[in-house]
Amino acid sequence: MTDLYTMAAVALVLILIFGFRERILAWLRTIEDRNERQRKQDVEDGRDRMAHFRHTMRLAEEQVEDIGEITVPDARTGTPVKLFLFEGERFLSRDEAEAVRNEAIVVRAREFYKELPRALAERRGGKIR
């Protein structure tokens, strides 16, 4: 009886795979495309002296929160006003919020480079080459 259940389960899995094969193949193609782009980027980064800085800025950007939009009534007129929110601070324009966010990204990246010599020294037994 267990053989019957096993064969039924295998048949069900095969039917599901066959039924969803286009979605599965599209998903696998997406993964393969992403991997191919990453391989090309790695080759380009190997030739580019500034790649480390771009990578650091990208990582710092991931660590800083995005800018949110809120709509609040104006205190004088009561009409809805769109404000931009970054780290709990409200801004009247997106450009102001983007400028503050970019500054936060640069500060985060600078902190990384300030800590880098100490981290390299710890990895190499107290010596920096």
pLDDT digits (tens), the chain, 129 positions: 788 999 999 999 999 888 899 999 999 999 999 999 999 988 988 888 888 888 889 899 999 999 999 998 888 888 999 999 999 899 999 999 999 999 999 999 999 888 888 877 787 765 655
Q: Report pLDDT for 61.
A: 92
Q: Which residues pair with 71 in a beta bridge?
A: 82
Q: Report pLDDT for 75.
A: 81
No. of helices (H) and no. of strands (E), the chain: 4, 3
Contact between 83 and 72 under an 8 Å Cβ cutoff? The reply is yes
Number of neighbouring beta carbons within 10 Å of residue 110:
12
pTM of the model: 0.62
